[in-house]
Amino acid sequence: MAQRPAYGALSPEMQQLLARYVNRKAVHGPYRVLRHAPFPIEDYLLQLCRRGVLIAHGNLGEHPVARTLTSADWGGLEIAVGGEQRRLSVWRIGRVANSVKGDFENVRVERDAVLREFPAEIPSPQRLPIAATDDAARAVIRQALNDSEGFVGQEKGAEIVRDAIPGFPKKRAMQLVKELTGNDKPGPKGPRRNRADNRAR
């Protein structure tokens, strides 16, 4: 390795690490994509493209202008490792080969669309949206009952459910509160009697 002035300023340990890195052997063998049975990524990507969740663009052969791959196109295509470089490529179904390029070249998807489907950071459990189901609402109500020592009014319970599950129907939430508490009263209605009046009676 040809030495430069800055190289001499490095510590012996850093010189050794740098020399080892520069003189490292090239990686041999074809590029490989490991297929994991519990989550085959190429099958998942194909389904996203077929459903229009990911919109891909690709080139046919040597044609310089890319075209959008539609859901109809994806119905006859598959994503698989192939070609001389053994890379993920887009092929007509049943036409995967090792000696030629994929049927579509330079297939790409917009970065923002990919990040929407595969976020760089996993959302914390508190930030994950809750499905608006009765079971999810019941779970919220049970937690509220635990937090309030066993009782929540229908109005208050419905408010708690709708805070946790935006868009959940208020009347249905009140019914579920009633179901879990056995309380028929939705909450106070109208002005209460004056305490002095109550004592006088």
Tens-level pLDDT at each residue, the chain (201 residues) = 455 667 677 788 887 887 887 777 665 555 555 555 566 778 888 899 998 889 999 988 778 899 999 999 999 999 888 877 777 788 889 888 887 777 888 889 998 888 888 887 765 555 555 667 888 888 888 888 888 877 888 999 899 988 888 888 899 999 998 888 876 655 554 444 454 444 444
**Token reading at 192:** 């209460």
User: Tell me, what's the pLDDT at 185?
Assistant: 58
pTM: 0.42
Residue at 100 is within a domain? yes
Residue 15 belongs to a domain: no
Q: What are phi and psi of 169, to 5 degrees?
A: -60, 130
Report if residue 35 sits inside a domain.
Answer: no
Regarding whether 108 and 65 lie in a shared domain, the answer is yes
Confidence (pLDDT) at 73: 92
Q: What is the Cα–Cα distance from 191 to 83, expressed in whole angstroms?
A: 79
Q: Tell me if 67 sits within 8 A of 50, measured CB to CB.
A: no
Q: What is the pLDDT of residue 106?
A: 84
Answer yes or no: do 45 and 113 share one domain.
Answer: yes
Q: How far is CA 55 from CA 44, 74, 90, 105, 107, in A?
A: 14, 10, 14, 15, 10
- The strand pairing partners of 61, in sequence order, are none
Residue 54 to residue 36: CA distance in whole angstroms: 21
Cβ atoms of 44 and 91 within 8 Å: the answer is no
Distance, in Å, from the CA atom of 158 to the CA atom of 168, rounded to the nearest integer, reads 9
The pLDDT assigned to 124 comes to 59
H or E element: which one contains 29?
Answer: none
Same domain? For 59 and 108 the reply is yes
- If asked whether residues 53 and 106 sit together in one domain, one would say yes
Question: With 0-12 CB in 10 A as exposed, 13-18 as middle and 19+ as buried, what is 96?
Answer: middle
158 lies in the same domain as 112: no
The total of structural domains in the chain comes to: 2
Domain with 137 in it: 129-181
Burial of residue 163 (CB within 10 Å: 0-12, 13-18, 19+) is: exposed
**Neighbour-count burial of 144, counting CB atoms closer than 10 A to its CB (0-12 exposed, 13-18 middle, 19+ buried):** buried
